[in-house]
Amino acid sequence: MSNLIERIQQLKKDRRAVILAHNYQLPEIQDIADIRGDSLQLSREAAATDADVIVFCGVHFMAETAAMLSPEKTVLLPALDAGCPMADMITADQLRELKAKHPDAIVVCYVNSSAEVKAESDYCCTSANAVSVVGSLPKGKEVIFVPDQYLGQYTAEQTGRDLILFSGHCPTHVRITEKTIAAAREEHPEAKVLAHPECTRPVRQAADEVLSTGGMCRFAASSDATEFIVATEIGMVHRLATDNPDKRFYPVARIATCPNMKKTNLEMLLWSLEEMRYRITVPPEIRERAIDAIERMVRISA
C-alpha cells in the first residue's frame, strides 16, 4: 500500500496534477486527495490551482464540470463507468420537451446533471445554494427545477415557490427511510440526525438538520453536540470523522452506499496518472451555454 501511494505521489508531481476527491469516495481516496469536497467546490478550487492535470475521483458529471471550468487543463476520470443515476434520468431532449410545455419558465438545473442538460438551463444550483438561487428569481415567473424532485421539494418548501418538478431522484438517498432514521435514533439516542436534501420529505422531517455535504462539515465542526447520525452516502462519515476526531459519527445505514462513488480505488488512480486516462472533454458549443448557467448561479451565491 505504501509503495502504491508513493508511486501516485511521484506521478502527481511529474504530471503537475491535482487530485480531487468527492466526499463520498473511498476513505483511502479521500486521504490521498489534495482537495476534498462537493462537486462544484472541487471544480472551482481546481480551476484556481496552477495544475496542468485534474484527476477527478468522483462521477462523470463532476469531471465534465471541471472540464468546463478549466478548459485549458487536462481532466481525467479514473473510473470511466462511474456515472450518476440521477444525472442519467434526464436528457437534454426531455428538458427541451418540458420547456416547450412551459415556454416562459426559468429553468434551474441541479449541478448533478450532464453538460447538455446544463446547457439547456438558465441557472445551475447545488444542494447548498438551491434555496438562494430559486429565492432570487422573479416571483411572477414559472420555475422548472430538474432533475431531483426531492431537492426541488425542499427548495419549494423553503422558498414558498410552486416549482415545476421533474421526477428524478438519487437511488442512494431514497433508500434511506423514516424507519431507517428511527432505528438509528434508537441505537444512538443522543445523536443529532443530519440529512441531505436529496432525501425524501419524511426523512427530512425526521432529521434535526437538513444540510448539503459542505453544510454538514460546517455544522459538525461548530456544534456543541458530540454524536451525529449521518443520513447521506456513507463516505461522508469518513470525511466528518477525519475532520472532527473528538466527535462520533454514525452512518444512518450501510445501505446508503453509492456503488458508482466506490468505483475509484488507488490502483485505478495510479493507472489513470500513468496512462493519462480517461480524459473528459465538453464540446465548446455545449460548454459556452452551460457555463452561462453556472456563472449566473455563482453571481447569486456571491
3-state secondary structure of 256: coil
**pLDDT given at position 302:** 64
For the question of whether the overall pTM of this predicted structure is more than 0.85, the answer is yes
- According to CATH, the topology of domain 86-169+285-301 is Rossmann fold (3.40.50)
The domain segmentation of the chain, as residue ranges, is 2-84+261-281, 86-169+285-301, 172-257
- Rounded alpha-carbon distances, angstroms, from residue 252 to 172, 179, 182, 249, 283: 12, 10, 10, 9, 40
One of 1.10.3720.10, 3.40.50.300, 3.40.50.720, 3.40.50.10800 is the CATH number of 172-257, namely 3.40.50.10800
Evaluate if residue 43 carries a pLDDT over 90: no
- Copy the grid coordinates of residue 220: 459538525
Dist. CA 106–CA 89, nearest whole Å: 20
Q: What is the DSSP letter of 55?
A: E
**Average model confidence (pLDDT) for the chain?**
96
Architecture in CATH for domain 2-84+261-281: 3-Layer(aba) Sandwich (3.40)
- First-to-last C-alpha distance (Å) of the chain: 42
The predicted structure's pLDDT at residue 243:
97
Take residue 14 and report the three cell numbers written for it. 511529474
- DSSP state, 220? H
Quote the cell numbers at residue 148.
431531483
2-84+261-281 and 172-257 share one CATH topology? yes
pLDDT tens, residue by residue, 218-263: 999 999 999 999 999 999 999 999 999 999 999 999 999 999 999 9
Is the predicted pLDDT of residue 83 greater than 70, yes or no? yes
**Separation of alpha carbons 14 and 42, rounded Å:** 22
For residue range 173-194, what is the model confidence (pLDDT) as tens digits? 999 999 999 999 999 999 999 9
pLDDT digits (tens, 9 = 90+) for 103-138: 999 999 999 999 999 999 999 999 999 999 999 999
